[in-house]
Amino acid sequence: MNAPAPAPDIAASIRWLRSTEAVRQRCGRLYEAAGRGALGHFRLHLDRMDWTAAYVAAVIRESYPRYDIPYHSRWRHFDVGGVDRWGALSRAIDPGDLPRAAADLAGVSVLLDAGAGPGWGYAEAGSSARLGRSEGLAVASLAMFHDGLFSSDPKRPFRVDAEGLQALTDATLSRGFQVNAANPLVGLPARVELLRRLGAAMRDRPDVFGREGRFGNLIAYLTRDGVRPVVAARELLQVLLETLGPIWPNGLMFHGANLGDVARHRLARADDATDGLVPFHKLSQWLAYSLLEPLEWAGATVTGLDDLTGLPEYRNGGLFIDAGVLAPVDPPPKDAPADPRSELVVEWRALTVVLLDEIALRIRRILGLDAAQLPLAKVLQGGTWMAGRKIAREKRADGGPPLAVATDGTTF
């Protein structure tokens, strides 16, 4: 029996909490509290923003001297070391199926990209390099995609379908990620569960993913089989949040709806049912950014890119701590990582969202570019994510984040 439909006001609250307007508004509430010195875990030092913007602008100039910055997306990680792995794989795929196959790969790879831990690495076949963190997870997931691990049809390996995902086991994914006692990967069982839940969600939405329950059919759904050449970024994210809501193992439940990456904070006040809730939707937005190129390869134009928010993860957030914009009041010790749902982490993530919007304005002024030339998707890539990694290496030998946060493989 289907669950009863939520009351109209609750249904409206659910729709709103699944919007980037809600992300910016609630993060803005905590930013305002920081301006008053009212947050419990951070102090805000805006006098450090000019220095930070100049630092990021210098990173952009060094990495992209012509400002030909691609989108911040999973596709950048597939090219680590200057190797065009997707280009090589794409030659084996039917050109007519290429955008859907690309979306298939982006979908599983993004959902597997959630904190590998410092002790894990991936040894790519034919290479002596050991890849860690996001790049290692990306290359490993591409290899698994190449081998048909996510497809139910051995004759059609380059696809991700519901049956293939629901057949995954811990042992299967462990082999794909080369996990053993000496090479541990944080949250492996949670990643398997996430992909199995994705398979169930795709099976339950044939209107979006087709009767076969294939993730890449999302491209045809959004473009109406190619007859609609313009797709709004907010619509892309809305479809992801609505269809993938059930997949999050630890998502916040709100009147029977799984909202996913939504947290609580006592200062995020409202006079309705959303009181105390702070949405982020980081992995869903990371997936939206990573689907921009498959949509464009299908002939679509994606509009309203800056409707998406910056990603509140440890590279972007770490930049602001390491640059002195954010000062933790009482940071947890390295051997006692913070709960990702704690108010300390919620404050860090919320402030990061707002500060990314602000630093984008400053960087554009420094470089003499406008929002059309340098949308947030390129500020992140060029940008804040790379600068966050760079300054982390300058500050700490292991290049890790300035704050230790626990993860189960489905957050951050």
Is 249 contained in some domain?
no
Same domain for 217 and 124?
yes
CA 111 from chain center: how many Å? Answer: 8
Asked if residue 171 and residue 90 are part of one domain, the reply reads yes
- The answer to whether 321 and 390 are in contact (CB under 8 A) is no
Q: Which residues of the chain carry a pLDDT beneath 70?
A: 1-7, 408-412
**Residue 131 within a domain:** yes
| The predicted structure's pLDDT at residue 2 | 53
Domain housing 127: 73-228
Q: Is 232 helix (H, G, I), strand (E, B) or coil?
A: strand
Say if residue 312 is in the same domain as residue 191.
Answer: no
Among 53, 104, 29, residue whose Cα is nearest residue 74: 104
Q: Domain count of the chain?
A: 2
Asked whether residue 104 is assigned to any structural domain, the reply reads yes
Q: Are residues 97 and 53 in the same domain?
A: no
State whether 312 and 201 are in the same domain.
Answer: no
For residue range 354-390, list pLDDT tens digits in order. 999 999 999 999 999 999 999 999 999 999 999 999 9
Residues 111 and 222 in one domain: yes
Q: Are 77 and 223 part of one and the same domain?
A: yes
Q: How crowded is residue 230: how many other Cβ atoms within 10 Å of its Cβ?
A: 11
Nearest one of 105, 295, 104 to 215, comparing CA atoms? 104
Phi, psi dihedrals of residue 127, rounded to the nearest 5°: -135, 150
Please report whether residue 238 resides in a domain.
no
Residue 1: the pLDDT is: 43
pLDDT at 58: 98
Is 290 inside a domain boundary? no
Please report whether residue 242 resides in a domain. no
Pairing outcome for strands 253-254 and 230-232: unpaired
Per-residue pLDDT at 129 = 83
Query: CA torsion sign, 178 to 385 to 404 to 74?
Result: negative
- Angstrom distances, CA of residue 322 to CA of 71, 143, 333, 384, 395: 24, 35, 16, 12, 7
Residues 399 and 181: their CA atoms lie apart, in Å, by 23
CA pair distance 286, 330, nearest whole angstrom: 30
95 and 182, same domain (yes or no): yes
Tokens of 159: 């696809």
pLDDT at position 407 is: 75
Q: 20 with 117, same domain? A: no
The secondary structure of residue 95, as a DSSP letter, is G
Q: Are 25 and 129 part of one and the same domain? A: no
Answer yes or no: is 245 within a domain: no
pLDDT per residue as tens digits for the range 296-349 = 999 999 999 999 999 999 999 999 999 999 999 988 887 888 999 999 999 999
CA distance 112 to 235: 23
Please indicate, yes or no, whether residues 161 and 200 belong to a single structural domain of this protein.
yes
CA dist 338 to 131, 327, 404, Å? 26, 16, 6
Q: Extract the tokens encoding 358.
A: 């602000």
**Sign of torsion over alpha carbons 202, 207, 210, 212:** positive
Question: Does 17 lie in the same domain as 131?
Answer: no
Please name the amino acid found at residue 71. Answer: Y
Structural domain contains residue 332: yes
Beta-bridge partner residues of 277: 264
CB-based contact 265:347 (threshold 8 Å)? yes
